[in-house]
Amino acid sequence: MSERVEDIAEAMVQNGQGILAADESTGTVKKRFDSIGVDNTEENRQAYRELLFRTADAMNNSIGGVILFEETLFQKAADGTPFVDLIRKAGAVPGIKVDMGAKSMPLLAGETVTEGLDGLRERLAKYYEAGARFAKWRAVIAIDDVRPTVGGIKANAHALARYAALCQEAGIVPIVEPEVQMDADPATHTIERCHEVTDAVLHTVFNELHQQNVKLEGMVLKPNMVVPGSKCVTQCPPEVVAHHTLSVLRRAVPAAVAGIAFLSGGQSELEATANLNAMNSGKNLPWPLTFSYGRALQASALSAWGGAAGNVGAAQAAFTQRAKMNSLAAKGEWKEELETA
């Protein structure tokens, strides 16, 4: 009997569990590996991902799902165990990034639309067969004084909904990720501008999801937090970020959605944890609010590893720490003192 998307979605985000975004495409891995002086070979990518997936404490206690890039979905650990089995054994759900990247819109300068719908039905069947039970599609929304345009928002929202519907048809939970960028250039926008844009984007996305009959109980939303651009002179403390983010989410996201798992978007590890914690502190929310971080879960682990087999233990300790801190934040139980305890 096939599992229900509602049950899979719930399992991914419950009880302070979050999602490890390890779906960096090969080009993005190159940027990350360049920063630690490691060659971007398949062998190194496999060794690094194995280190993460074998971090028992983090995987068993804090991670409910792992987003993989296609190469990793079909890869094996050094002892021949498929990565999908390692992840399942840790009690987490394996997932797959299925979009083909954000491509520039021909007549809307500075905006992108994410491609990858052609042939997606067939690819989803193959990924299901390989063990993936959720998928991810990321729309990248530019932000400045004039962008995004209504046309840019609509094109991305429409594609997100078409992707989500195809996923649910295949028995796969869609993670719907409309990312309003915080670290694009120029990133001088204020938190108020991010509030306005995120609100418009989420309303359009949920309108499209509704029109295409997507079951909200069987999806996870992966939004940006409402924050000022990273180069804006006025930065905001966690309480202010939480206030703006929750006010947008409460107005735009139906209570039926199974869960909300934020991206970190270029925030430091500590900022991403503190902001998530502030959102979960004593508020009565209709959905679990958790993390689906890439950089904010991996930055310390990556630099502790540095490509050396002898550093695997140190890298795993760093990953365990971030996973644990974010899991506490997803329950509103994190305190800064715990970082050094």
* Residue with Cβ nearer ligand 5MM (25 or 75): 25
> Taking CB under 6 A as the rule, does residue 12 contact ligand 5MM?
no
Q: Does 23 bind ligand 5MM (CB under 6 A)?
A: yes
Q: Is the CB of 3 or the CB of 235 nearer to ligand 5MM?
A: 235
Q: What ranges make up the beta strands (E) of the chain?
A: 18-22, 63-68, 93-97, 102-104, 112-114, 134-141, 173-180, 220-221, 259-262, 289-293
**Sequence-separated (6 or more) residues with CB below 8 Å from residue 32:** 24, 298, 302
**Least CB distance to ligand 5MM at residue 216 (A):** 21
Q: How many angstroms separate the CA atoms of 160 and 69, rounded?
A: 18
Min dist. Cβ of residue 273 to ligand 5MM (A): 12
Q: Using the rule CB under 6 A, which residue among 5, 9, 13, 21 binds ligand 5MM?
A: 21
Here's the x/- map for ligand 5MM, 126-145, by CB under 6 A: it reads as: ------------x-------
Residue number, 179 or 208, with CB nearest to ligand 5MM: 179
Would you say 276 or 304 has its CB closer to ligand 5MM?
A: 276
In whole angstroms, what is the distance from residue 291 CA to residue 306 CA? Answer: 25
The yes or no reply on residue 65 touching ligand 5MM (CB under 6 A) is no
Distance CA 48, CA 147 (A): 37
Residue 231 near residue 188, CB atoms below 8 Å: yes
The stretch near ligand 5MM (CB under 6 A) out of 24-32, 80-88, 189-197, 276-284 is 24-32
Task: Enumerate residues 177-196 that contact ligand 5MM by CB under 6 A.
Answer: 179
Task: Select the span of 21-29, 143-151, 238-246, 319-327 touching ligand 5MM (CB under 6 A).
Answer: 21-29
Question: Strands 102-104, 112-114: parallel, antiparallel or unpaired by DSSP?
Answer: antiparallel
Residue positions annotated with a catalytic role: 177, 222
Nearer to ligand 5MM, 107 or 202 (CB): 202
CA geometry: angle 325, 56, 5, nearest 5 deg: 80
- The residue with its CB nearest to ligand 5MM is 294
- Least distance to ligand 5MM from the beta carbon of 281, Å? 21
- Residue choice 225, 265, 279, 301 for contact with ligand 5MM (CB under 6 A): 265
Using only C-alpha atoms, the chain has a radius of gyration, in whole angstroms, of: 19
Q: Is 322 in the site for ligand 5MM (CB under 6 A)?
A: no
Residue 282 Cβ, how far from ligand 5MM at the closest point, in Å?
A: 25
28 binds ligand 5MM, rule: CB under 6 A = yes
Of 300, 295, 308, 307, which is closest to residue 34 (Cα–Cα)? 307
Could you tell me which stretch among 20-28, 85-93, 315-323, 324-332 binds ligand 5MM (CB under 6 A)?
A: 20-28
CA 86 to chain centre: 20
Are 114 and 97 in contact by the 8 Å Cβ rule? The answer is no
From 170, 191, 202, 263, residue interacting with ligand 5MM (rule: CB under 6 A): 263
Residue 242's alpha-carbon distances to 53, 172, 181, 187, 301, in angstroms, are 31, 30, 17, 20, 27
> Interface residues for ligand 5MM in 283-312 (CB under 6 A)?
293-296
Instruction: Taking the CA atoms of 204, 115, 111 and 244 in sequence, report the sign of the dihedral they define.
Output: positive
Looking at 230-329, list the stretches that DSSP marks H as alpha helix, in order from N- to C-terminal side: 238-252, 269-279, 295-305, 312-329
Taking a C-beta distance cutoff of 8 angstroms, is the pair 330, 290 a contact? Answer: yes
Q: Is 213 helix (H, G, I), strand (E, B) or coil?
A: coil
- Reference 10, options 216, 259, 214, 215; nearest CA is 259
By CB under 6 A, name the binding residues for ligand 5MM.
21, 23-25, 28, 67, 138, 179, 263-265, 293-296
